[in-house]
Amino acid sequence: MKIGFIGLGIMGKPMAKNLVKAGHELVVFDFNKDAVKELVDCGATAAESNKDLAAQVDVVITMVPNSPHVRAAVLGENGVVEGAKEGLVVIDMSSIDPTESKAIGAELAKHGIDMLDCPVSGGEPKAIDGTLSVMCGGKKELFDKYYDMLMVMAGSVVYVGDLGSGNVAKLANQMVVAINIAAVAEALTFAKKAGTDPELVYQAIRGGLAGSTVMDAKAPMMLAGNYKPGFRIELHIKDLNNALNAAHAISSPAPLTAEMMEIMQFLRSEGCDKDDHSSIVKYYEKISGTSIVK
C-alpha cells in the first residue's frame, strides 16, 4: 500500500518509521527537513508539499498538533485536496476537536475524499515500539479496510463510531490521564509529608485497585525527577482545551478537567510547558513545600 504521511514530530516520526519497517511504500512531508531526511534514510520518499504527496498515494495519514494544522494540511494552499486523486482517503491521527473533525470531513467529502479520525494514546515510547492505542471514527467499511495498516503502529485499534467519535474517545482518555497523574502526584506528596517513603508507598499500592498504567508510567518519572517529554504539558493543555470546549458545547459538566486545566496553566506560567505531563507533581511541590524526588 502506498501511504502518504504528513507530520513527523515526536509521535509521527516513529509511527512513520514503523510503517516503513512493515514494508509499506511511504511518501512523507514535514516542514522539519531533518525529520524528513531521517525517514528518507529509512526508505521513505520525500514530497515537496502536501499537494505533491497526495498526488502520489492512495491514503494520507496526518499527525499534526491541532485542528488548524489539520485543516491547513488537507484544505489549505498546496494542501491534500489540490493533489488528491479520486478515491483518496485521509486518516487523521492527530488529537483535535471532534466538531472540527466533522467539519473537515464534510469539506473533504465535497472533493470526493473520505476521512477517518483515528487519534492515538500512549506517548512517544508506545509510538516507537508500535503499541499505541488507536480510537477510530468514520465509516465502518473504511475502518475495516485500513485496520491491518493501523495495527502496524498499534497494540489496539478500536472502532468507536461515526466521524468525530475517535476524538471524543481521545478527549475522554486525556481527561482520565490528566486527573490520574494529578491523583498520583497528590498521593505521593502526601506520603512524603507524612514521613513515609513515597517510593515504597508506590510499590505497596500499585498492585491494588489504585494501580494503573498511568501510575506505572508516571510515578517512577516523578520519583526520579525525570520530565523528559513523552507527552508535553503544552499538548495536554491543547487536549484539555478541546475537551472543555466540546463539553461546554453539549452542557456536559467537567469540573475535574477544568481544575486540571488550571494546574497545567500554572505549570505553563512556571516555564514547564515543554516538560512531560508527569511534571504535574511540580504543582504539588510548590503548594506543599516538599519534593518526592529521591
β-strands 132-137, 120-121 pairing: antiparallel
Distance CA 182, CA 177 (A): 9
Active site residues: 170
What letter does residue 85 receive in the DSSP assignment?
P
Is residue 280 within 8 A of residue 231, CB to CB? The reply is no
Q: What is the rounded (10 degree) CA torsion for 61, 46, 126, 230?
A: -100
**Residue 157 and residue 274: Cα distance in Å, rounded?**
28
- Residue with grid cell 504539588, as numbered in its chain: 284
Q: How far apart are CA 191 and CA 257, in angstroms?
A: 24
Q: How far apart are CA 15 and CA 126, in angstroms?
A: 9
